[in-house]
Chain A
């Protein structure tokens, strides 16, 4: 009984995912409320009808109470979590008790993260995003939604079964020599060869990594690449898993597995689809200048959509086509979110894949667009706050922007229809803002700011969503080059293949700890500064027996681990960095602490208290720990601060003193400089 729905303020469904049970409930209820004799309409219409009162009430409360709903619960323990991101309302529902409120909120944020990775800065324009998420063409819509649904299912499956997605940190395969060899291979052979090939069509491999199921065997970033954020890496692993689901749980394949295996192999490739014409665009040809501000904002937008219909060609899915992903890039001059990359996921064997991330030749455009967007956004905020032209500082930068934007538009070339629109809106903006005798930088400029932002997003969309140049020269690593990379990696790992597949299931095991830590049942240790985690494997399938035994006992321990993580997050959210719990037959501990680079333990500091409905604590959807480190580092200037977490589960009969000693030993030994955990 699960559901996730994205709706616009006007109660239009932008995306929905339901499990079978929820779908049936909706159908039954809809059937009951309809006059008999009518055939059931599309499910999309049913779900939108059923949720419409909630969605409309949400906007009413926002408008009139300037507050918003965050959750509902019912007497039979159904939970509804609601969150509004700009113009999109996300609603997640659970009616089977398997997810708590926090889980639902996390799911919403993860969904948003995946949409950002797929659509980049288009998400910054509500109007564009709505159109992107809900293509007019029903077939396209079905394909897009199916893709998003399977991503969501893959995520849910990983979150429920994989410890690294439980704590949202990357798990490395612990085999130092092999890891080292592989990194060397990636650096000196693979990436070097690819980047020196002419067949790369202007693309440049920035990052390359090898995944064994969800675990990282080796990761290499080229020298001029910025670090890949943990959040992005986790999102990419979800995408890779979605493309090539691993059958770790062969014994009990979940329905999601079956579906995603059959539904989304490499052949069902997702390429962002163009938006066809808008139905109510009859008056869109009105001249922009004369109309009242409100329409100015809407007009160019609709026009754009209509025009783009002519330029976009629906290309057939192509297995060698990369996925466009939008990832964060941190450069010396700042942080650039949602920069376009191409992702090549090359399967080596079932369960093992090589992933390449390349920088695309036109990515400089994205950077400019982002700078302009940021500038207009700041300007709009300032104007909204009533800071009038007196803010000379703002004007200065705007003059700066003026020159740059002029150049930018010229460089785009007039051939692109989208850039013509941008040019028009920009000319209008300049007329209003810079012409003497006009109003200058006043509130009247706000609609123009909005229009500029929309147009910039439109340009961005044009550049990175539609393979405009594809007709002549496909901008991607040539299929042959991809094949070569695949073969090289296969050759490298052929002898290790079976070992790796087994190793990934039993990366480290509790057996090795039992002697030193009697009474210890399980632990998870996370280095939040690097976004990596270590935990004994918790394999609970019938076939592979872990130390915990199999079946119900292991399942029970697993549920305890999952419960503990969510409990400690709740305390962390409220500012508690140490928690110990005596619960039934178990004793749980949780510690979060800071160290400097030399391993010196730093004084515990205040941890901010967050409201209940704040973004979930983790690294995938919203990097809480990055914020925490920044917050903590304020008092430790000039010192690199690291953040660690340790969770342990002991038998409750063990004296607390011993338990705490164990924790201390684990905390000090697990992350010794050698990076070689106890084995």
Chain B
């Protein structure tokens, strides 16, 4: 029944995920605790509450039992009609359910992506839920989920690939130019790494595919916003083209960014060295090797210079996960005031994101002021009214929110009232301020480190940079990065705009898909239509072969043939390629025959794919 309901709401093709929920087991420990109290977010939101409760409670129960029996958290849970990737951590349980046709590896990848996205923009999950209302965060989960599902074809469901511009249509010089822009930005030591995006597609990136994907979510948001408002919306010294937001990197991500060979000394932040020689490597990952602790002294200033940011929540405005509630409070206060005073009056064209930031900051504010003497007791009795209020504000914002939130429908289905009957032990735990900092890094293995995502938009083109938080307060650095790249970005944008987004790879007498595992990019001549026919034999075969390649390290190539189609798949460390020849005579008896066309697929693939830039030799 639920499936039917969903099928009506969404075109079946674009649905990648059937269910997603986050359940907080710590809220449902006593006998009398209602299950609904533990449901942090449930997608699809219009799912009847009793069904939400059923899935949450059953999965949590089974998950705990199996985890105990095997002394290890549950990873996947399959039903006849849906398969779920499960993550269990700190009493939280995430479940993401897809159709059983999607390879299990892909479902698990999608869930990891989603959780990582959330942490990237919000920091630790536990802390986010302590600082923000459930409704605010629900809107974010929804947004991230919708981004991950948006417009991707069935092929992208299998490979979790980055959307890139079609490099075969683009003058390589433009790609070089983009890379040079990024390298130029890195001359500023506060800039860690960056990427250039055009209309939601990657032109050039210095970051890992995972990190690039995370950055793109924010870009897509500001892009839709910018389109709707028809121009810059916030006042800043850079004409509104520049925005920034706080993001959180895992230690390993940070180390990876900083691990690139860097030949410059750790220069002082206030005086960025201008004599850094341009990097000669193509994809330079050179970064400031500034130890993040050093930036600590400068961070209070970031809240004092909000004129350079359109908005910045600075929720956990700290570098090393030091998040003392009082410090945050003062930051939030001043930020709140300054932002409110700076912002133009909000019309009904209010951006969803901004509206949400309001909510976010309000709830943040309220939660601390209503929290009583402890100052850190977030989910107190008094909160529920605030949260309800928020849900209204949030609901309005969503209604005006346009495309991003359309799929949720107007009726926000999860107005769970806050669970007042909080477990006593939990309360006691919460009162301990040290708990906050402890919880901070619990989700990811390593603590999360606050950084800033800086974005400079020139129409459809965006320069996104990961920068040290105090970059925003460093006027000189900002000026330098802004002005040094402005002209080049304009030029690049003008060029890219003229390139027709023609049908990728004229459909020949064959279909292929080429996946670059290192860069997470997919090249295919399969019709780019979103959700390109999942029943397509090529997609089905690719999905099976991809799973097989993932599970068998030694497997190099495979040919599989059903009555209708023969598909060839081959892989190396860096790539996976799939090929199917159309037409020809597949008429055969299925008995081994070396003249059979299926067995000539490897040589055909080698030959045909050369012109797509795929070298299988």
Partner of B594, one of A68, A72, A603, A656: A656
Given contacts A571-B560, A582-B557, whether A660 and B77 have CB atoms under 8 Å apart is no
Q: Which residues of B contact A571 (CB under 8 A)?
A: 544, 560
Chain A 40-86 interface residues, beta-carbon cutoff 8 Å to B: 50-51, 53-54, 57, 60-61, 64-65, 67-76, 78, 80
Cα(A571)–Cα(B540), bound, Å: 11
Query: Residue A577 at the B interface, CB < 8 A?
Result: yes
Provide the B356-371 mask, 1 if CB < 8 A to any CB of A, else 0: 0000000000000000
Nearest chain A CB to B23 CB, angstrom units: 14
From B70, B80, B555, give the contact of A67 (CB < 8 A): B80
Query: Judging by beta carbons under 8 Å apart, are B555 and A579 in contact?
Result: no
Complexed CA–CA distance, A667 and B593 (Å): 10
* In the bound complex, CA of A656 to CA of B600 (Å): 10
Q: Name the residue on B nearest A32 (C-beta).
A: B68
B238 at interface (Cβ–Cβ under 8 A)?
no
Knowing A67-B80, A579-B558, the reply to whether A601 touches B594 (Cβ < 8 A) is no
Distance, CA A65 to CA B18, complexed state (A): 14
Of A25, A73, A611, A660, which one neighbours B74 at CB under 8 angstroms?
A73
Tell which of B38-46, B414-422, B582-590 binds the partner.
B582-590
B148 contacts chain A at the CB level, 8 A cutoff:
no
Q: Contact between B71 and A76 (Cβ–Cβ < 8 Å)?
A: yes
Q: Is B599 an interface residue (CB 8 A)?
A: yes
Nearest CB of chain B from residue A61's CB, rounded to whole Å: 6
- Does any Cβ of B come within 8 Å of A584's Cβ? yes
In the complex, A95 Cα to B558 Cα: how many Å?
30
Within 8 A of A (CB), among B550-564: 552, 554-564
- Interface bits B577-605 vs A (CB < 8 Å: 1, else 0): 00000000001111111101011001000
For the complex, what is the distance from the CA of A567 to the CA of B71, rounded to whole Å? 29
Complex CA gap A526/B439 in Å reads 59
Q: Is the interface of B mostly helix, strand, loop or mixed?
A: mixed
Contact of A607 among B69, B554, B562 (CB under 8 A): B562
Which chain A residues lie closer than 8 Å to B55 at the CB level? 65
Whether A589 contacts B78 by the Cβ 8 Å rule is no
Provide the bound-state CA to CA distance between A80 and B554, in Å.
26
In the assembled complex, the CB of A538 is this many whole angstroms from the nearest CB of chain B, namely 20
**B559 close to A578 (CB less than 8 A):** yes
State whether A583 and B562 are in contact (beta carbons under 8 Å apart), knowing that A57-B58, A76-B72, A667-B591 are contacts in the complex: no
Contacting pair A660 B594 (CB below 8 A) = yes
Q: Which residues of B contact A71 (CB under 8 A)?
A: 76-78
Q: Is the CB of B80 within 8 A of A74?
A: no
Q: Say whether, besides A579-B560, A582-B558, A75 and B69 are in contact (CB < 8 Å).
A: no
Cα–Cα, bound, A10→B67 (Å): 22
Docked complex Cα distance between A29 and B590 (Å): 53
> Are the CB atoms of A70 and B65 closer together than 8 Å?
no
- Contact partners of B262 in chain A: CB under 8 A: none
With A53-B61, A579-B559 known as contacts, the answer to whether A660 contacts B72 (CB < 8 A) is no
User: By DSSP majority rule, is chain A's interface helix, strand, loop, or mixed?
Assistant: mixed
- Check A576/B560 contact, CB under 8 A, given A68-B79, A584-B554: yes
**Cross-chain contact of A574 among B69, B540, B591, B594 (Cβ < 8 A):** B540
Is B54 close to A, CB under 8 A?
Answer: yes
Q: Is B62 in contact with A667, judged by CB distance below 8 angstroms?
A: no
Are B587's CB and A603's CB within 8 A?
yes
Set of chain A residues within 8 Å of B589, measured between Cβ atoms: 593-594, 601-604
Interface extent on B, as a size class?
Answer: 35 or more
B502 CB → nearest A CB, Å? 34
B544 near A664: Cβ-Cβ < 8 Å: no
Minimum distance in angstroms from B564 CB to a CB of chain A: 7
A580 pairs with B69, CB closer than 8 A: no
CB contact list, B142-184 vs A, under 8 A: none
Which residues of the partner chain A approach B79 to less than 8 Å between Cβ atoms? 61, 65, 67-70
The interface residues of chain B lying within 8 Å CB-to-CB of A75 are 72-75
C-alpha spacing A67/B82, complex, angstroms? 9
* A598 CB, min distance to chain B CBs, angstroms: 14
> Are A74's CB and B594's CB within 8 A?
no
Within 8 A of A (CB), among B272-291: none
Q: Are B82 and A78 in contact, with the CB atoms below 8 A? A: no
CB-based contact B66/A54 at 8 Å = yes
A95 touches B70 (CB 8 A): yes
Q: Is B426 an interface residue (CB 8 A)?
A: no
The answer to whether B80 touches A68 (Cβ under 8 A) is yes
B64 at the interface (CB under 8 A from A): yes
Contact A74 B70 (CB under 8 A): yes
Chain A residues, CB < 8 A from B599: 580, 656, 660
- CB of B548 closer than 8 Å to a CB of A: yes
Q: Is A661 an interface residue (CB 8 A)?
A: yes
Residues of A within 8 A of B562 (CB): 574-577, 606-607
Top 8 nearest A-B pairs (CB, nearest first) are A663-B592, A604-B590, A660-B594, A76-B72, A601-B589, A593-B590, A584-B554, A78-B70
B residues contacting A by CB (< 8 A) are 51, 54-55, 58, 61-62, 64-82, 100, 540-541, 544, 548, 552, 554-564, 566, 587-594, 596, 598-599, 602
19 A-B residue pairs with CB within 8 Å: A53-B65, A60-B58, A67-B81, A71-B76, A72-B77, A78-B69, A567-B548, A570-B544, A576-B561, A577-B561, A578-B590, A581-B555, A582-B555, A583-B556, A604-B563, A611-B80, A613-B78, A663-B592, A664-B593
